[in-house]
Amino acid sequence: MTADSTSPVRKRVLLAKPRGYCAGVDRAVQTVEEALKLYGAPVYVRKQIVHNKHVVTTLEARGAIFVEENEEVPEGSTVVFSAHGVAPEVHEQARERNLKAIDATCPLVTKVHHEAKRFAAEDYDILLIGHEGHEEVIGTAGEAPAHIQLVDGPEDVENVVVRDPAKVVWLSQTTLSVDETMETVARLKTRLPLLQSPPSDDICYATSNRQHVIKEIAPECDVVIVVGSTNSSNSVRLVEVALGAGARAGHLVDYASEIKDEWLEGATTVGVSSGASVPDDLVMEVLAHLAERGFGEVTEFTTAEERLTFSLPQELRRDMKAAAAARG
């Protein structure tokens, strides 16, 4: 029996969960918000607090001023360091300029910094897997520049030179593709069989979780739309992972208005996710946009529950406590 050719095509959305804000991003954004409340505007932020256009413009509207370097911050002012982490010299520059520095580095990035310092102190060669020029890589490499060399993907493995093949360890940027990183490690191990691994996984739980759920839904999707900014490593990786896992097409957008109708032509199943620095109201706008185009049926596909939270930076907590005590 053939289906009635006039019957409407069933259009649906598979909504990935986990998606959006991770604990480190939530903490970093909250740090700027609380600093503005406590100290008043302006509060300076070195680099983008997180890699998301909407978050940055929203905080700018509240009085945050984003700068590239400490020297742009007036002496004696408050500066927040971004979630991606900074090299020790950045802290030193802040002290020299008498800046009140609040470090919003994600604790999972700080963990990689500690690993770098520890292995450097033991005179290891450290192979840092990551993307050249990314703020997180610059910050981690700055902890032990004499010991760290960057390995930018599997193709870069042949360029690695170490002093002692028995004393080498790999670390990684926290927002990489899990699969590509493991491919890089496998290639490194064929060249360096005694290569040691970090004490615990450097790729953060949120990056892994978001990639895992997108892999699960991608084979069913005609198109996957990831909400996130082009400078967000984990958001860009989500599109790559979706395509690698079988999605017919994948696109990265900051806002629902960027979705082109031709992307949806002939599609019956659209996957939706968002990077770890994306507020969920942007995802809801994408769902509303898709619903207007017939994709009203939404099924949330969940592969993990995330309950991790991080406390605010201690410098900020201390000042908030003092201010509360002063108010009586």
Residue 7 pLDDT > 60, yes or no?
no
Classify domain 12-20+205-302 by CATH architecture: 3-Layer(aba) Sandwich (3.40)
For residue 211, what are the CA distances in angstroms to 20, 81, 109, 140, 320?
12, 27, 19, 23, 36
Give the right CATH number for 108-191 from 3.20.20.240, 3.40.1010.20, 3.30.160.150, 3.30.390.50.
Answer: 3.40.1010.20
What average pLDDT does this structure show over 87-101?
97
pLDDT of residue 9: 80
What residues pair up with 44 in beta bridges, in sequence order?
A: 65, 79
* Residue 318, burial from CB neighbour count under 10 angstroms (0-12, 13-18, 19+): exposed
Q: 6 falls in which pLDDT band (50, 70, 90)?
A: low
Q: What is the pLDDT of residues 111-126, one digit of tens each?
A: 999 999 999 999 999 9
CA dist., res. 26 & res. 181, Å (int): 25
Consult the annotation and say whether 277 binds a ligand.
yes
Tokens representing residue 195 in the block: 């290569």
Known catalytic residue at 216: no
- Residue range(s) occupied by CATH 3.40.50.11270 in the chain: 23-106+309-323
Residue in 92, 136, 143, 216 annotated catalytic? 136
In 3D, which of 125, 132, 25, 148 has the Cα closest to residue 82? 25
Consult the annotation and say whether 134 binds a ligand.
yes
For residue 251, what are the CA distances in angstroms to 54, 217, 226, 229, 301?
18, 15, 6, 11, 19
- In contact, 136 and 129? CB cutoff 8 Å: no
For residue 270, what are the CA distances in angstroms to 5, 145, 160?
22, 44, 41
Consult the annotation and say whether 204 binds a ligand.
yes
Consult the annotation and say whether 84 binds a ligand.
yes
Residue 279 pLDDT > 90, yes or no?
yes
Q: What is the pLDDT of residues 40-76, one digit of tens each?
A: 999 999 999 999 999 999 999 999 999 999 999 999 9
Q: What is the pLDDT of residues 184-197, one digit of tens each?
A: 999 999 999 999 99
Backbone angles phi, psi at 126, to 5 degrees: -115, 120
What residues pair up with 288 in beta bridges, in sequence order?
A: none
Tokens representing residue 11 in the block: 């259009």
Check if CATH label 1.20.1090.10 holds for domain 23-106+309-323.
Answer: no
- Residue range(s) occupied by CATH 3.40.1010.20 in the chain: 12-20+205-302, 108-191
Residue 4 pLDDT > 60, yes or no?
no
Q: 328 falls in which pLDDT band (50, 70, 90)?
A: confident
Consult the annotation and say whether 177 binds a ligand.
no
Q: 3 falls in which pLDDT band (50, 70, 90)?
A: very low
Consult the annotation and say whether 140 binds a ligand.
no
In 3D, which of 137, 162, 163 has the Cα closest to residue 152? 137
In 3D, which of 327, 311, 314, 260 has the Cα closest to residue 290? 260
pLDDT of residue 2: 43
Cα angle 144, 232, 227; round to 5: 160
What residues pair up with 150 in beta bridges, in sequence order?
A: 128
Cα angle 154, 155, 161; round to 5: 90
Would you tell me how many other CB atoms lie within 10 Å of the CB of residue 265?
9
Query: What strand order describes the sheet that includes 125-129?
Result: 148-151, 125-129, 168-172
What average pLDDT does this structure show over 64-92?
97
